[in-house]
Structure 1
Amino acid sequence: MANKQKAKVTKRESLKRKREVASDIRLKKKIKIDLLNKTNNDVNLIISKHVTTEQKKVELHDIDIDNMTSGMNDAEIKLQTLKVAVLPPPTVPLRVYSNLPLTLPSDLKEKEISLTEYRPMESTASEKTSEESPISPLQNFVNFELRGHRVIEINHFFEQLIKISGHESLFQCGLHSMEIKSEKNNSFISQFLIQCKMCKQQFKIESSNLQLNKLAVEGVIAAGCGHAQLKQISASLDIPIMSEHTYKINQDEVFDEWEVTAWESMKLAGEREREAALKENRIDKNGIPIIDVILDGCWCKRSYRTNYSALSGAAAIIGRRFGQVLFMAVKNKYCCICARAEKLNEVVKQHECFKNFDGPSTAMESTIIAEGFKKSVEIHGLIYSRFIADGDSSTYSRILATRPYTIVTVEKIGCKNQRQRW
């Protein structure tokens, strides 16, 4: 049984050698015919025409033809160039370095071209070991350490790959001849420098044309998280971690955009309430539309019937008919930069201070609501004649004290659900 298997292996090897010899002979005949017809006198074009990837163009280890061909005449030089270029199997593309002109002399047709004089050098021990071990497909594509995962916009990324795969060259280049030289990373966005190993052209490819860093920060904030949670998510996915500085820059941009969007949304909500009031003919003596609203507040610290010491609070006014926000604001009693400067008896440096309230925490809601009533005509052209709220009497007292409208007196409607809670 063992003898039969050995015979089969020997027969396959013999057939393989015969096919290689036949392939060399056919290639030799094609090149000689092309040279004898004088249809193409450029060695590079002849080689690229006949020595295709199927016949294995090879890359020699930086062969210097100028030194190798010293003392030869032009015909012998061109013959030696062909011997170097037209070779049997090994596996990497041809790269021959020479400053010699490559126009063929007329007497080259008399020379014999040999394809068998070159034999590849024996592999070293390390090379044999690497051949025996499995090799990653990216090993020939990346010539530096590239680890982890990246976020890419799939259509944008493949459009760029398709574009560079068809770049103009005389060497039949393609994606198979590309290698990644470097990566410029900015958190979730990467820019790769890719070079063609044949023609040495370089290209830059971006992982996405979107603002991924800003989108990531926006999503984390919307989920109620921050930079620490984003770091944990990135580490778990093996994605480059965003620095705190980059997070802060994108966070400020997100907040600015959200503020603009919020005001635009409130303006649209006011216009919608105004149109509905005009259709119902709910207007005062001056023709200003009158509507009903719902209002409530919240604090950063739970203070139900005890310890009203929250440092930040917010409140909102909502249109009753459509349930959309017409006004909202936030009051802060604390700024860390101001507090630190005061503690150290230092002059406060210039900064963006968010402290905008000095009164008791319980007064935050009523202050914001009264401010919203006073600006209702200016912002929306509306009068809030009635409002629905909880049983907190301080808010209603504050509204009456500020007297936001000269003709209309604001009325309060108690919330049934809130009364049951009390």
Structure 2
Amino acid sequence: MYLHSVKPNFEGNRIVNIKKFQQHVMDITTHTALCDSARAKAAKGENVVSLHSEKQHGFYFILTIICCGCGEKFNIDNSDKIGNENIQEINLRCVWGNMVTGGGCSSLNESMGTMGIPGINERTYSKIEGQIGKLWNDVLQDEMKQAGEEEKRIAIENDEYFQGVPAIAVVCDGGWSKRSHKHTYNAMGGVGVIFGLKTKKLLHIGIRNKLCYICSRAATKNQEPVKHECFKNWEQSSQSMESDIILEGFRECEKKYGLRYMQMIADGDSSVYATIIKNIPIWGQR
């Protein structure tokens, strides 16, 4: 984590952690109470401590305060690190909150700027955004695993099997990033989901993207794209995105959860049903 020094004019506002700030105040107060030179200055009505310098990394800061009596320095910071990640909690919380409301780096800095709080640079924001994405994915995978175990338990309790494998009913649906109006299936992205009917919990989710902004921008400039995590994973029609995602879930269910999806509730999309009949042997072709 790179901390950069800022001009020591100490203007504006900062976000602080109350408990950490309280501890810092106690440490400084204890020192000045025991420092003869500091007490002498206090008796004369002079400053006992003064702000010396500040270093920042996004919304994280280290403020150095110096004792005007003996010159001893104290560092005040406003956040702890998260787990083993080289990331400060304050930065993670600010970026996380901005992501869930649909904002980006510029919108976060604009909001903070109106409150007089120094912002975060694009590079740091993107790095934290990627780390948050991995955290979200870990939680999602764990919750889907638990949902699969619960559906399996219920199927066993109800003696619902197919060829000796616990069998369940699922609810499937999908959507696109652009309304189709039943004829303009040209969306750049689509999503599909599978829920367990009994638990009403998510068992599978998939996303298909026909566009990567970084790759596309590089192509228009006839350049090689910079190193990045590319989310483009689909070359076929937009209309077939949902079918492919649902098929993926059906293919993985036995290996992933020890289940077979033997009943499907959907919105009447015949292409999804036809895809399953064609590609899942226990449903159709053998």
TM-score (norm. length: structure 1):
0.59
Equivalent of residue 68 in structure 2, options 182, 197, 205: 197
CA distance in 2, matches of 1:345, 1:222: 34
Q: Is contact 2:38–2:70 with CA below 8 Å preserved after alignment?
A: no
CA distance in 2, matches of 1:183, 1:337: 35
The equivalent of 2:83 in structure 1 is none
Does structure 1 residue 146 correspond to structure 2 residue 10? Answer: yes
Displacement of 1:338 in angstroms is 3.2
Which aligned runs of 4 or more in structure 1 are off by greater than 6 angstroms?
A: none
What are the superposed Cα offsets for residues 109-142 of structure 1, whole Å, 9 maximum, x if unpaired?
xxxxxxxxxxxxxxxxxxxxxxxxxxxxxxxxxx
Deviates more, 1:203-212 or 1:153-162: 203-212
Q: Is contact 2:276–2:283 with CA below 8 Å preserved after alignment?
A: no
Given residue 239 of structure 2, which amino acid in structure 1 is its aligned partner? T
Displacement of 1:309 in angstroms is 0.6
Given residue 273 of structure 2, which amino acid in structure 1 is its aligned partner? Y
The residue correspondences of 1:65-104 to structure 2 (distance < 5 A) are none
The residue correspondences of 1:386-401 to structure 2 (distance < 5 A) are 386-401=263-278
The equivalent of 1:184 in structure 2 is 55
The equivalent of 1:243 in structure 2 is 121
The equivalent of 2:108 in structure 1 is 230
The equivalent of 2:231 in structure 1 is 354
Displacement of 1:262 in angstroms is 1.0
The residue correspondences of 1:403-418 to structure 2 (distance < 5 A) are 403=280, 406=281, 408-409=282-283
Q: Is contact 1:333–1:357 with CA below 8 Å preserved after alignment?
A: yes
CA distance in 2, matches of 1:337, 1:151: 33
CA distance in 2, matches of 1:349, 1:150: 34
The equivalent of 1:28 in structure 2 is none
CA distance in 2, matches of 1:221, 1:280: 42
What are the superposed Cα offsets for residues 156-190 of structure 1, whole Å, 9 maximum, x if unpaired?
11112102221253446599611110111222111
Alignment CA distance shift 1:346-1:150 (3 Å)? closer
Q: Secondary structure at the match of 2:102?
A: coil
Equivalent of residue 281 in structure 1, options 134, 143, 159: 159
Greater relative contact order structure (CA < 8 Å, 6+ sep): 2
What are the superposed Cα offsets for residues 196-225 of structure 1, whole Å, 9 maximum, x if unpaired?
001111111102325111111111111122
Q: Secondary structure at the match of 2:162?
A: coil
Given residue 140 of structure 2, which amino acid in structure 1 is its aligned partner? A
CA distance in 1, matches of 2:223, 2:13: 47
Equivalent of residue 203 in structure 2, options 326, 329, 353: 326
The residue correspondences of 1:293-372 to structure 2 (distance < 5 A) are 293-346=170-223, 350-372=227-249
Q: Secondary structure at the match of 2:249?
A: helix
Q: Secondary structure at the match of 1:361?
A: coil
The equivalent of 2:138 in structure 1 is 260
Displacement of 1:341 in angstroms is 4.6
Q: Is contact 1:273–1:321 with CA below 8 Å preserved after alignment?
A: yes
Q: Is contact 2:38–2:67 with CA below 8 Å preserved after alignment?
A: no
Alignment CA distance shift 1:225-1:340 (3 Å)? closer
Deviates more, 1:157-166 or 1:347-356: 347-356
CA distance in 1, matches of 2:135, 2:145: 16
Given residue 232 of structure 2, which amino acid in structure 1 is its aligned partner? K
The residue correspondences of 1:32-71 to structure 2 (distance < 5 A) are none
Q: Is contact 2:170–2:195 with CA below 8 Å preserved after alignment?
A: yes
5+ residue gaps, structure 1, are 1-142, 411-422
Alignment CA distance shift 1:200-1:255 (3 Å)? same
Alignment CA distance shift 1:347-1:165 (3 Å)? closer
Q: Which is richer in strand?
A: 2
The equivalent of 1:269 in structure 2 is 147
What are the superposed Cα offsets for residues 209-268 of structure 1, whole Å, 9 maximum, x if unpaired?
251111111111111222232122111211112111121111111111111111111111
Q: Is contact 1:157–1:208 with CA below 8 Å preserved after alignment?
A: no
Displacement of 1:342 in angstroms is 4.2
Alignment CA distance shift 1:346-1:319 (3 Å)? same
Identical positions, percent: 32
Given residue 273 of structure 1, which amino acid in structure 2 is its aligned partner? E
Displacement of 1:304 in angstroms is 2.6
CA distance in 1, matches of 2:56, 2:218: 37
CA distance in 1, matches of 2:221, 2:116: 42
What are the superposed Cα offsets for residues 57-94 of structure 1, whole Å, 9 maximum, x if unpaired?
xxxxxxxxxxxxxxxxxxxxxxxxxxxxxxxxxxxxxx
The residue correspondences of 1:122-133 to structure 2 (distance < 5 A) are none
CA distance in 2, matches of 1:300, 1:231: 27
Displacement of 1:343 in angstroms is 4.3
Q: Secondary structure at the match of 1:323?
A: coil
CA distance in 1, matches of 2:65, 2:233: 53
Q: Which is richer in helix?
A: 1
